Amino acid sequence: GENVEQHPSTLSVQEGDSAVIKCTYSDSASNYFPWYKQELGKGPQLIIDIRSNVGEKKDQRIAVTLNKTAKHFSLHITETQPEDSAVYFCAASPERFGNEKLTFGTGTRLTIIP
Of the two residues 27 and 49, which places its CB atom closer to other proteins in the complex? Answer: 49
CB 36 within 8 A of CB 105: no
CB nearer to other proteins: pick between 72 and 94: 94
Angle formed at CA 43 by CA 42 and CA 46, multiple of 5 degrees: 125
Which positions from 26 through 55 interact with other proteins, judged by CB under 8 A?
Answer: 32, 34, 36, 42-46, 49, 51
CA distance 33 to 30: 8
Cis bond upstream, residue 8 (ω within 30): yes
User: Dihedral angle at the C-alpha atoms of 72, 51, 15, 87, nearest 10 degrees?
Assistant: -80
Q: Which one of 18-26, 63-71, 72-80, 93-101 is the stretch in contact with other proteins (CB under 8 A)?
A: 93-101
Q: How far is the CB of 72 from other proteins (least distance, A)?
A: 19
Give me the residues that bind other proteins (CB under 8 A), please: 32, 34, 36, 42-46, 49, 51, 89, 91, 93, 95-107
